[in-house]
Structure 1
Amino acid sequence: MHTDPEDSRLAELAPIEPAASGEPPARKPEHGMPFGWFWPMGIGAAMALVLRLIFSGGPGQLYSAMLGSFVYLTPALCGAVTVYMAERIERRSWGYYLWAPWVATALFVGGTLAVFIEGLICAAFIVPLFAVMGSIGGLAMGIVCRITHWPKQTLYGFALLPLVLGAIEPNLPNPDRFSNTSRTLFIAAPAERVWHELNAARDIRPAEVDGAWAYQVGVPMPVSGVTVDTPEGRVRQVRWQKNVHFEEVITDWQPNRRLQWRFRFSPDSFPAGALDDHVMIGGQYFDLRDATYTLTPRDGGTELRVEVSWRLSTSFNWYADRVMHLLLDDASENILRFYKARSEGTATAGAMIRP
């Protein structure tokens, strides 16, 4: 039977009849909107990006990006906005409440990189936490949309909460968390040779150390680390790429056995852009404390052990500490492999030229 085109258009505009069971009518998806599946996530990411622009305060100031009110609540808002906008189109599944905020928070982090308000170092390691918090916000908004008549009011509450807490939180002290890690590696070289390399690491090539994850996400690579005598005692002078420089003050000097230092950073140790400013080493939120190298003679060589300790002072220490363990465990293994390669290479060269 032939259907008039005008009749078809009118049928599309006709109201949806209630289901026979008495359930409310299902909302018709807006399939005609270009990229309709995507725009709720885009709006969620945009709202979070606006909050990131607001949370641009320096360390210890109002609306710093290192505040818990930003780190926890901004991705939660991102997820809540995403689900709210999607629910305005049609009822979504419980799975959608969980995975759509992942996409939205990833877009948000990508946006901060695109507009140069966040560095790759922080972005790479905050994504997992943001994804979890985004899912929590999305799930909460999904529940509100299903069982209440106040999703809009709830969304306003989501948006106001980080703004209110961002003004209060800087007045509260952050807890300090002190942690350490250690790694050990056997080096087929005498302790004297290993000791020399520890105190005279010059002209470090990127290929010798670039395997560490930290360097792959933007931490400057080391260039040299040389111990010198100064009026205050022995100091190890360290240089990294991007004109980073700092000192390691020797606190325990037992030749061929033990070397310990405490890190000392000056205001100009990290030039602008060398690291993400709000996670500066030696700053309010994070500090390297000391490092210890222990040399133990073994058959055929030396066992080299490194221990590194650090401080965290944030409202999300439980997460930041796991990230630091991941980074410094890997960095410690990487630097041990560097000393192993240098010590064994020098020892082999010396053996070859002996008469």
Structure 2
Amino acid sequence: MRNDNEEESRLAPIDTGEPRTSTPHDAPHPPARRMPFAWFWPILAGAFIALVLRILFSGGPGQRFSPMLGSFVYFVPAVCGAVTVYLAERTERRSWSYYLWAPWVATALFVIGTLAVFIEGIICAIVIVPLFAVMGSVGGLAMGIVCRITHWPRQAVYSFALLPLVLGAIEPGLPNPDQFSHTSRTLFIAAPAERVWHSLNEARDIRPSEVSDMWAYRIGVPLPLSGVTVETPEGRVRQVQWEKNVHFDEIVTEWQPNRLLKWRYRYTPDSFPPGALDDHVMIGGQYFDLRDTSYTLTPREGGTDLRIDVSWRLSTRFNWYADRVLQALLGNGSENILRFYKARSEATATAAVMATGAP
């Protein structure tokens, strides 16, 4: 039984090192015709295999074959890259650079495919693409090495494909590591602390133009509509409304007027209607939770320093990556939130000055 390398050797032209002689019967052979876009088929096949694996990884949080498992996030894009390189090598020897860039294209097509068949949300798709590209290149490079130095590329690609399935059945039985992080930002507001405090507790009728610069909202997180503190039998609660019927409470845990406001988050089963966020990465769920947020007001000459502190929990096999993403998104969000309160507080302070006729 011939293996793949023997088959390639049989088909390759033999060079004896001696000059060739031609005969009157020799005639030039027309070049073999290749399928249109033949270079693209290995990439498309790699993306297709990864899409099939994504369909198989449709389990819910904490279940077998969840798309939030490390066995999916790490190994499925690696399979995508490995299949791409394997099929390309079956046609002709590829360069080392091909082993890196072709899996990038394949994983990008894979992610686009998940969006096209509505099994992935735009938020997760955008966030995960960089990690998928890296893991796709790792798989492509590994397969390229196998194809160059061994006689078992077919067996290797089968092993690549089976690995996420085996691990996807085992991994849910293992505990996820918890990681707790936070971010903070400070901004000077040219308004007295009383005005800033009022803006924090009476954020009504929020316009898209006031917050649309946040990266999180640009990738699909619903825009906020209001955040208002009210008195309830259980104490002070800041009631929050977002677009797409998202709503939740912020339970005030520290209240020092004009000085400090801190809350923890409370969600109900209907806080995030289906489709409002990516359903398998729900805030307050198994993998991610916002813990608390605080605002500290420090009066100074000409206005107030407003500081925001946000903390969260991550519980995934790829906390190292997810935490960097959240640092970027929530850090950017904190900066824009402070600018929102700055604009509102300074506008209110200016209106108050004009109303009193003060110079």
DSSP-derived class of the 2:295 partner:
strand
CA distance in 2 between counterparts of 1:185 and 1:167 reads 48
DSSP-derived class of the 2:275 partner:
coil
Equivalent residue, structure 1, for 2:266: 264
Please tell me the residue identity of whatever aligns with 1:40: P
Q: CA deviation at 1:32?
A: 1.7
Equivalent residue, structure 1, for 2:147: 145
CA distance in 2 between counterparts of 1:101 and 1:193 reads 54
Structure 2 residue 19 is the aligned partner of structure 1 residue 17: no
Equivalent residue, structure 1, for 2:117: 115
DSSP-derived class of the 1:37 partner:
helix
**CA gap 1:138/1:187 in 2 versus in 1, 3 angstroms:** same
CA distance in 2 between counterparts of 1:142 and 1:157 reads 15
Contact kept in structure 2, 1:30 and 1:89, CA below 8 Å:
no
Matches within 5 A, 1:266-285: 266-285=268-287
DSSP-derived class of the 1:88 partner:
helix
Q: CA deviation at 1:18?
A: 2.0
Please tell me the residue identity of whatever aligns with 1:174: N
CA distance in 1 between counterparts of 2:123 and 2:17 reads 55
Q: CA deviation at 1:339?
A: 0.2
Equivalent residue, structure 2, for 1:124: 126
- Residue by residue over 1:280-310, the C-alpha shift from the partner in whole angstroms, topping out at 9 and shown as x without a partner, is 0000000000001000011110000000000
DSSP-derived class of the 1:183 partner:
strand
CA distance in 2 between counterparts of 1:304 and 1:56 reads 43
- Residue by residue over 1:130-186, the C-alpha shift from the partner in whole angstroms, topping out at 9 and shown as x without a partner, is 000000000000000000000000000001100000000000000000000000000
Equivalent residue, structure 1, for 2:51: 49
**CA gap 1:301/1:82 in 2 versus in 1, 3 angstroms:** same
CA distance in 1 between counterparts of 2:226 and 2:150 reads 62
CA distance in 1 between counterparts of 2:177 and 2:104 reads 29
Equivalent residue, structure 2, for 1:155: 157
Q: CA deviation at 1:30?
A: 6.9
Please tell me the residue identity of whatever aligns with 1:130: F
Matches within 5 A, 1:1-355: 16-20=12-16, 32-355=34-357
- Residue by residue over 1:65-108, the C-alpha shift from the partner in whole angstroms, topping out at 9 and shown as x without a partner, is 00000000000000000000000110000000000000000000
**CA gap 1:78/1:234 in 2 versus in 1, 3 angstroms:** same
Q: Provide TM-score, normalisation by structure 2.
A: 0.92
DSSP-derived class of the 1:72 partner:
helix
The gaps in structure 2 that reach 5 residues or longer are: 1-9, 19-30
Contact kept in structure 2, 1:30 and 1:36, CA below 8 Å:
no
Equivalent residue, structure 2, for 1:7: none
Equivalent residue, structure 1, for 2:28: none
Please tell me the residue identity of whatever aligns with 1:126: I
- Residue by residue over 1:255-275, the C-alpha shift from the partner in whole angstroms, topping out at 9 and shown as x without a partner, is 000000001111110000000
Q: Provide TM-score, normalisation by structure 1.
A: 0.93
Q: CA deviation at 1:349?
A: 1.0
Q: CA deviation at 1:34?
A: 1.0
Number of residue pairs the alignment of both structures matches: 336
**CA gap 1:65/1:190 in 2 versus in 1, 3 angstroms:** same
Q: CA RMSD in A?
A: 1.4
CA distance in 1 between counterparts of 2:257 and 2:323 reads 33
Please tell me the residue identity of whatever aligns with 1:17: P
DSSP-derived class of the 2:38 partner:
coil
**CA gap 1:280/1:164 in 2 versus in 1, 3 angstroms:** same
Please tell me the residue identity of whatever aligns with 1:313: S
CA distance in 2 between counterparts of 1:277 and 1:337 reads 30
Contact kept in structure 2, 1:282 and 1:288, CA below 8 Å:
yes
Q: CA deviation at 1:31?
A: 5.6
The gaps in structure 1 that reach 5 residues or longer are: 1-13, 23-28
CA distance in 2 between counterparts of 1:15 and 1:69 reads 39
**CA gap 1:258/1:92 in 2 versus in 1, 3 angstroms:** same
Mean CA deviation greater in 30-39 or 81-90: 30-39
Equivalent residue, structure 2, for 1:5: none
Equivalent residue, structure 2, for 1:10: none
Please tell me the residue identity of whatever aligns with 1:148: T
DSSP-derived class of the 1:38 partner:
helix
